[in-house]
Amino acid sequence: MAEPLLEVKDLKVSFRTEDGVVRAVDGVSFTVDQGEVLGIVGESGSGKSVTMMSVLRLINDPNMRVEGEVIYKGRDLMKLHKDEMQEVRGDEIAMIFQDPMTSLNPVYRVGDQIVEAIVTHQAFDKPAGKKRAVELLRQVGIPHAEARVDDFPHQFSGGMRQRAMIAMALANNPDILIADEPTTALDVTIQAQIIELIDKLKDDFNSAVVLITHDLGVVAEIANEIIVMYAGRVVERAPKRQLFYDPQMPYTWGLLGSIPRLDRPKQERLHSIKGMPPSLINLPEGCKFRPRCPHAFDKCMEEPELVNRVEEHGHLDRCWLSVADKRRLRGETITGEEAA
Amino acid sequence: MFARPSAPPAGCSGIEGVRVNHRNGGDPLVEVRSVKKYFPIRKGLLQREVARVHAVDDVTFSVREGETLGLVGESGCGKSTLGRTIVRLLEPTAGSVLFQGRDISKLGRRELRPLRREMQIVFQDPYASLNPRKRVGSIIGNPLKIHGIGDSKSRHKQVQELLETVGLSPEHYNRFPHEFSGGQRQRIGVARALALHPKLIVADEPVSALDVSIQSQMLNLLDDLQNEFQLTYIFIAHDLGVVRHVSDRIAVMYLGKLVELSPAEELYQRPIMPYTEALLSAVPIPDPDLSAKRERIVLEGDVPSPINPPSGCRFHPRCRYMTDICKEVEPPLVDYGKGHLAACHHPLNVDKATLERATVSQRYTPETADEGAKPQEPGKEEARPIPRRR
């Protein structure tokens, strides 16, 4: 296999607060390969956004402490000088955020914001940059791009703003595009358009994509590999089909079971995971999911390592249950589903 | 349940304690008749009306007692505006809203007051809908206080019971909203809506802001509450998976119009209107193989503005089956049987026999305006010819 494009090694991000130390990311490791789409799935507080924002060193908090390595093209991004990091950010690794209204500057024209991204990293002057911006807007499907390029963000709809953000992110042909909940704030038909767009553009621009979302439906569509995060850790990692058809973590079963499915007969009651995500200041002992896990047993007081327990290579999880037990127990949780 | 001090309003069934089998539904609790809600856009020194937002544009349907009606559509379709008009947070521009047989469209504040106990609303944003400077006990108890129910002590007890009912700890009575998570705040909103034991709850996107595992807790809770308190729900959402799970019937809106109305399962098996078909196809399925196999209809373009809606069928610019008639003539709501109505010149999933039997829905034909409502728009009274299959 070729060298991974990005390798995150044991990343830890914590914040000192009045109430204690918040361990937002607590030892996360993964790789991103050329041309792949990595889905990072998790709910609020799982650490998924902080992980990727830390990769790009976008968080500037004096109370923050970061440990671990992020290797990109042979260099540890954590050790770069901030000017060097500035060159990587936006040019080689780009990011789009969840709510396009708050991520686009409302007092600058959309075109100017894209041009800024272009001229910062490439040897274009403003007029040439503007031409490129129009072209990019066209590529992301904005109609009448030559006219719309001079609009302000509030003149764009939600879907269009997200497209403009994607145009900005792809302006410099990055190797990796990080998309943080790109469709969450959008209507379902626009969401479908944006997913289709990201899928197509990754081929056109030959970029790898890291897609952060809580929506398992979205990753089912375009991801190759999926990471499930909980309480600042990776709790399961697998190629897409394996995650959906042979999930190993009770948390993953819970997520899959909580989704009302259009393709199945209506259920009487939705499965739900009891309780709430743990406090990141006072994490429970042992397995972090233990307090909410219907299958917890005494061994769970010791935190499991993220290792390969199933036959298939490349499928890692953090659960002490035997593979046979897992396959037996999960059917009840993922209502009606049979092991593939 | 505590006894209500006043008699139910005249003209309604209002029999206390009748157990309705909520899945089958009873009499209409709410009737929406040709309701329109326009918002003027004013410009200039004299604040002249230069345009209007046609947020809700002639919608008719009813909600049976004990059922859950899902109201689905995308941004700008008017579903939230309609929800608020039904509970009279807004006054309809035209048409009427009937609650338990009584026209509430034009009632003044004083007359509405007792009705507010019967209809309540849960809002979408659990962060914006709770006053951050009030304690939770006060937020939930406020409706009781306003309606003069009980004394301070009995209210306190009731609030604690409500907290328990929604799965929160009664000890949290004195906490502030910011001390709770999004899901918990949403539960507080539900507790507040339940405080007066209403008959109707309009839930405006109650789970959209929640994580998926919290969402399912909330949906199960709403289901339990419906059984326990014999509630009727109007459930507004854009997530079709969620809507299907909770609804008995579903109304699909597009740009202010009701374009399809059907029993829930029927809608998912046999959508008639192409917009519904596209909506269903846009929902991501957490199953990679199934997702890869199915045909995804991705609509082009954005939802047009409700200020200047397209002519004829409002969906025509984005519809893959569009023909000339769609641009010119607005399709009427046609009854295709089994309670399934749709407005389309080229209905999908309808066989020849059903097509022949179909009639223009009685419910659509706008009745003459109720007293007090503004005049209807011209040109809509004639019965339309039955749509022909292409």
pLDDT of residue B358: 79
User: Chain B, 230-249: which have a CB under 8 Å from a chain A CB?
Assistant: 238-242, 244-245
Query: Which among B182, B268, B291 has CB closest to A221?
Result: B291
Strands A233-239 and A316-317: antiparallel
Average confidence (pLDDT) over B5-26: 39
Least confident piece of the model among A175-179, A195-199, B32-36, B68-72: A195-199
Residues B273 and B252: beta-carbon distance below 8 Å? yes
pLDDT at B302: 73
pLDDT in tens, B195-245: 999 999 999 988 887 888 888 888 888 989 999 999 999 999 888 888 888
Q: Is B191 on the interface with A (CB under 8 A)?
A: no
Give A258's contacts in chain B (Cβ within 8 Å).
212-213, 215-216
Q: Do A259 and B241 touch (CB under 8 A)?
A: yes
**DSSP assignment letter at A66:** E
Strands (E) in chain B, as ranges, are 28-43, 48-64, 68-72, 94-99, 102-103, 119-122, 200-204, 232-237, 249-254, 257-263, 334-335, 341-342, 359-360
Q: How far is A281 from chain B (nearest CA, A)?
A: 15
Q: Which amino acid is at B195?
A: A
A213 burial type by CB count under 10 A (0-12 exposed, 13-18 middle, 19+ buried): buried
Do A101 and A158 form a contact (C-beta atoms < 8 A)?
yes
State chain A's mean pLDDT as an integer: 89
Percentage with pLDDT > 70 across chain B: 85
Predicted confidence at residue A335, as pLDDT, reads 55
Quote helix, strand, coil % in chain B, to nearest 5.
30, 20, 50
Q: Does A151 touch chain B (CB under 8 A)?
A: no
Q: Mean pLDDT, to the nearest integer, of A137-158?
A: 88
User: What pLDDT, on a 0 to 100 scale, did the predictor assign at position B26?
Assistant: 62
Nearest-CA distance A270 → chain B (Å): 6
- Write down the pLDDT at residue A75: 92
The pLDDT confidence band at residue A190, using thresholds 50, 70 and 90, is: confident
Of A157, A244, A261, nearest to B288 by CB-CB distance is A244
Nearest Cα to Cα of residue B180 among B150, B135, B216 = B135
Determine, for residues B212 and A261 on separate chains, whether the beta-carbon distance falls below 8 Å. Answer: no
Of A205 and A105, the structure prediction assigns the larger pLDDT to A105
With beta carbons under 8 A apart, name residues in chain A contacting B303.
Answer: 157, 187, 189
- Under DSSP, the state recorded for A269 is S
In chain B, the percentage of residues whose pLDDT exceeds 90 is 48
Of chain B, the end-to-end C-alpha distance in Å amounts to 56
Residues 195-214 of B with CB under 8 A from A: 211-214
CB pairs under 8 A between A and B: 128
Region B179-207: mean pLDDT is 90
Amino acid B7: pLDDT: 40
ipTM: 0.81
Decide if B179 touches A, using CB distance below 8 A: no
* Mean per-residue pLDDT over chain B, rounded: 82
A284 neighbors A278 (Cβ within 8 angstroms): yes
The answer to whether A22 contacts chain B (CB < 8 Å) is: no
Strand partners, B41: B51
Question: Is the pLDDT at B385 greater than 50, yes or no?
Answer: no
Beta-carbon separation of A188 and B287 below 8 A: no
Tell whether the model's pLDDT for residue B66 goes beyond 80: yes
A39-73 residue pLDDT tens: 999 988 899 989 999 999 999 889 999 999 999 98
Residue numbers in B near A187 (CB within 8 A) = 74-75, 238, 303
More confident residue, B126 or A114: A114
Strands A233-239 and A307-308: unpaired
Task: Give Cβ neighbours of residue B34 (< 8 Å, ≥ 6 apart).
Answer: B58, B59, B60, B94, B95, B96, B366, B367, B369, B376
What value does the mean pLDDT take over residues A177-199?
A: 86
What element of type H or E holds A60? none
Cα separation of B305 and A156, whole Å? 12
